[in-house]
Structure 1
Amino acid sequence: MEAAEVMRVNRALNKMSKLYRAAKARKLAALGLHPGQDVLLWLLAQRPDGMTVSELAASIGIEPPTATRSLARLEAGGWFRREPVASDRRQVRIVVTDAGQRLVPGIERAWAELAEEVIGEVSEDQRETVVTVLEQANDRLRALVDEAVLTEE
């Protein structure tokens, strides 16, 4: 790749990342959520029996302390409750409440609106190409990040 193309790709990816997060933040604000909280709440809603903090963190690829901080911010909304794990008194299960369940359709609607707005009116083939390229790029980034984590240990 030539230098001009490298700069163009980097600029586009950086700009997209910032703009996507800002647009998502605006949509989620209407629900009383911040980016990241939507994913946690949505995942919890998929598991009626709840999840431990470790399970939740592992499912989205973050560290348990990060999940704990995010949950602390969500707790004020009454969107989940903590229940003891009978087999391990040190653990608690995070269980979404009815109030949290009621937010899920709004989260999914915000995601759908944002996807439509970002991709725009393109053909099904173009949309498939865009999503495939983005997924491939994510896979390569994930491999780079995992590789970096392994070399740091």
Structure 2
Amino acid sequence: MDASEAMRVNRTLNKMSKLYRAAKARKLAALGLHPGQDVLLWVLAQERDGMTVSQLAARLGIEQPTATRSLARLEGGGWFRREPVATDRRQVRIVVTDAGHRLLPDIERAWAELADEALGQVGAEQRAIVLTALEQANDTFRAMVGEGPLTEE
């Protein structure tokens, strides 16, 4: 890849990353969420019986203190509750409430709108090529930084 193409790739990816995050922040703000909280809540909701903070952190690929801080910021929304783990009094299980489950379709709708706004005008064949290229780039970067493959995002 020559220097001008490398500059174009870097400039485009940097700008797209910033713009995507800003667009996502606007959509999520309408739901009372910040970027990242949507994924956290969605992942939690996949486990009907909830999960511990350490399980959540592992699932998201983040450190446990980061998960704890994120949950603290979400606490006021009434979207989850904490329940003691009977076998380990030091642990709590985070369980999504009915209010949290009712929010999931709105989160998924915001994601669908973002995807459509980003690539909806691109033809199906081109979209498949773009998505494959982006997924390959993500795999390369995950390997570079020592992250395992993503299970959910």
- Pairwise CA distance, 1:122: 2.0
* TM-score for both structures, normalised by structure 1: 0.93
Deviation of residue 120 (structure 1)?
Answer: 2.6
Instruction: Say yes or no: does 1:128 pair with 2:128.
Output: yes
What are the equivalent positions in structure 2 for 1:62-141 lying under 5 Å apart? 62-141=62-141
**Count of residue correspondences:** 147
Question: Any idea what the Cα deviations from partners look like across 1:115-143, whole Å, max 9, x if unmatched?
Answer: 00001322211111111111101000101
| Of 119-128 and 22-31, the range deviating more from structure 2 | 119-128
1:21 aligns with 2:57: no
Distance across 2 between alignment mates of 1:134 and 1:6? 15
Mark the runs of 5 or more structure 1 residues left unpaired by the alignment: 148-153
Please, what TM-score do these two structures have when normalized by structure 2? Answer: 0.93
Deviation at 1:81, TM superposition (A): 0.4
Structure 1 position 55 matched with structure 2 position 55? yes
Shift of 1:8: 1.0
Matches within 5 A, 1:22-37: 22-37=22-37
Separation of aligned partners in 1, 2:3 and 2:126 = 27
- The answer for the alignment partner of 2:7 in structure 1 is 7
In the alignment, the residues of structure 2 paired with residue 125 and residue 146 of structure 1 have an alpha-carbon distance, to the nearest angstrom, of: 32
Q: Which amino acid aligns with 1:95?
A: V
Report the secondary structure of 1:84's partner residue. Answer: strand
Report the aligned-residue RMSD. 1.0
